[in-house]
Structure 1
Amino acid sequence: MSDIKHQRLQTNGIWMHIAEKGQGPLVLLIHGFPELWSSWTYQINHLAEHGYHVVAPDMRGYGDSDCPLDPASYTAFHLVGDLIGLLDQLGEEKAFVVGHDWGAKIAWDLCLFRPDRVKALVNLGVPYRPRSIEFKPTEFMSKKFGEGFYISQFQKFLLVNGPEHLAAPPGVEIIDFLETPSSLPPWIFEEELQLCANKNWELLGPWQGAKITVPTKFIVGDKDVGFHSFGTKDYVEGEEFKTLVPNLKVVIIDGHHYIQQEKAEQVTNEILSFFNDESLA
């Protein structure tokens, strides 16, 4: 990794750390949770060898990028705004984009808000889903998977609020140890927390029913737990996904969730074959 260069650029009011390598058309790699730029190390090296300028940022709140304290500073608009600002700082009008996991969600939003800045998209693991008009995300996940689901646990403010909570006692599961969150401080109310938790759902109202119009390849591992949850397998293999993403190719490969690392060569070849298509230039 010694020949991968690192720098911090100012974008959208924060300093963002990026790892980059190569020269040529820009490829932007967006990591997921709980990952950093380094989850793309194989792709950075090999895409650069094939004539691309590859940039992998630590997203807002991760790694060596700034971490604003206000939860309201992490909306879809902020995250996409960071990427648009990054493109501007790099002097690029458009980029090829690759996203994984939560980074795939950000990449879908980027294509939804600013398709004019994206040449083509490869997303891994998380398909584009239309905004539900019936359920807010946190309500849906709690009903579907229970309060023990990791995203549901994130909604329990002050679940971890001190070093004494970083490890469970011997013989005790950490999730059981953290089952009861601390009480809220006097300066915040439960209602305010719920506003933050579902903020993206509320903000995306104007894009209700909108389609992803950029050329897209979606790659998923056939053993990915997410592929077998939420009705994802039927959705990905059915017609609705293709209707919402009209210019779509779906690739299902042998693998699990962290597919860009587990099947690094195969995933990279899928990315290259798609971006090398002359019709996308």
Structure 2
Amino acid sequence: MEGIVHRTVEVNGIKMHVAEKGEGPVVLFLHGFPELWYSWRHQILALSNLGYRAVAPDLRGYGDTEAPASISSYTILHLVSDIVALIHSLAVDQVFLVAHDWGAVIGWYLCLFRPDRIKAYVCLSVPFMPRNPKVKPVDAMRALYGDDYYICRFQEPGKAEAEFANNSIEQVIKNILTSRRPGPPILRKEGAGSNSDPSRPLPTWLSQEDVTYYASKFTKTGLTGGLNYYRNLNLNWELTAPWTGVQVKVPVKFITGDLDAVYTSLGMKNYIESGAFKKDVPCLEEVVVQEGVAHFNNQEAAEDVTNHIYDFINKF
């Protein structure tokens, strides 16, 4: 991680930790749950060597960025506003956006609300999810998969935190990052984060040093900040009513793994393959499905993802 500069930026009323390296056009990386700026370590090093300024924040509620106490401080309007303010602080008009998981959700709304700020978007794992005016998202997920679907289990304040506490934070992080089970994530009754053998060796793409780094930050902050994103899904649905039916008109490349639990649930595969995704995102230029790759593809298939990012943004 040599050469990566860490600093704190005031954005939208909070202090945000940012890691960056390189000079040139800005590539802005947004991480997911339960991750940090560190999730982009491979891409930061590679793209900074290719003539780009790689910038990766800890999002609101994560790592060394402030975590407001109230659940309502984590709506999509707060999260996007943080990133708009961060872009402004970088003193550039536009950035290349690369985002994964919850970062990808923020990325889609950023492209929807402020397309003037985004040159092109490389989205990992989570496609654009158009607003269904007839049903709130958590209600729809509960009807489809029941109360033990992970997003439904995350809704009650404190409950998931207590379940995660049944394991060490290191084991929770390890279990989530190394999960390769396709289909909807249904949490076992024993509690969140208890779905694997503690003695199972780490995959080649995730070192003990990586796990230790994540665990050190989440031991300090807990998981509440990240879980609060899920607790605002129905409120976000209300807040984004004015954008019902609006298309995303930024150039996009979408990358997912064929074992990704997002790709293999909620009808996502059909949505992507049927042409509905392209209809909602008319400037979608390419969909890449990586064989044998699960949800955390920016880490599991780091070099391949980096090459796809570079090939796409290099066109602009």
TM-score (norm 2): 0.78
Q: For residue 157 of structure 1, report the CA deviation from its aligned partner.
A: 2.6
Question: 1:159, 1:178 within 8 Å by CA — same for their partners in 2?
Answer: no
Q: Distance in 2 between matches of 1:98 and 1:233?
A: 21
Aligned to 2:101: 101
Corresponding residue SS for 1:228? coil
1:57-113: per-residue Cα shift (whole Å, max 9, x none)? 000000000000011111111111101111111111110000101110000000000
Alignment of 1:117-266 (within 5 A): 117-159=117-159, 166-167=165-166, 176=189, 196=232, 198-248=234-284, 249-254=286-291, 255-266=293-304
Aligned to 1:45: 45
Aligned to 1:19: 19
Aligned length: 258
Aligned to 2:85: 85
Question: 1:111, 1:213 within 8 Å by CA — same for their partners in 2?
Answer: yes
Question: 1:32, 1:101 within 8 Å by CA — same for their partners in 2?
Answer: yes
Q: For residue 129 of structure 1, report the CA deviation from its aligned partner.
A: 1.4
**C-alpha distance 219-4 of structure 1, shift in aligned 2 (>3 A):** same
Question: 1:25, 1:95 within 8 Å by CA — same for their partners in 2?
Answer: yes
Q: Distance in 2 between matches of 1:267 and 1:158?
A: 35
Aligned to 1:6: 6
Larger displacement relative to structure 2 (137-146 or 42-51): 137-146
Q: For residue 235 of structure 1, report the CA deviation from its aligned partner.
A: 0.9
Question: 1:155, 1:197 within 8 Å by CA — same for their partners in 2?
Answer: no
Q: Distance in 2 between matches of 1:161 and 1:129?
A: 27
Gaps of 5+ in 1: 169-173, 180-193
Q: Distance in 2 between matches of 1:221 and 1:177?
A: 28
Question: 1:30, 1:100 within 8 Å by CA — same for their partners in 2?
Answer: yes
Corresponding residue SS for 2:263? helix
Q: For residue 251 of structure 1, report the CA deviation from its aligned partner.
A: 1.2
Question: 2:155, 2:231 within 8 Å by CA — same for their partners in 1?
Answer: no
Q: Distance in 1 between matches of 2:142 and 2:127?
A: 20
Q: For residue 158 of structure 1, report the CA deviation from its aligned partner.
A: 3.1
Q: Distance in 2 between matches of 1:87 and 1:19?
A: 14
Corresponding residue SS for 2:3? coil
Q: Distance in 1 between matches of 2:160 and 2:59?
A: 22
Question: 2:166, 2:191 within 8 Å by CA — same for their partners in 1?
Answer: no
Letter in 1 for 2:166: A
Q: Distance in 1 between matches of 2:89 and 2:77?
A: 18
Q: Distance in 2 between matches of 1:140 and 1:61?
A: 26
Identity over aligned residues, as a percent?
Answer: 47
Corresponding residue SS for 1:43? helix
TM-score (norm 1): 0.87
Gaps of 5+ in 2: 168-186, 193-229
2:308 corresponds to which of 264, 270, 279: 270
Q: For residue 165 of structure 1, report the CA deviation from its aligned partner.
A: 8.0
- Does 2:105 match 1:67? no
Q: For residue 160 of structure 1, report the CA deviation from its aligned partner.
A: 5.7
Question: 2:11, 2:85 within 8 Å by CA — same for their partners in 1?
Answer: yes
Letter in 1 for 2:263: F
Q: For residue 267 of structure 1, report the CA deviation from its aligned partner.
A: 0.7
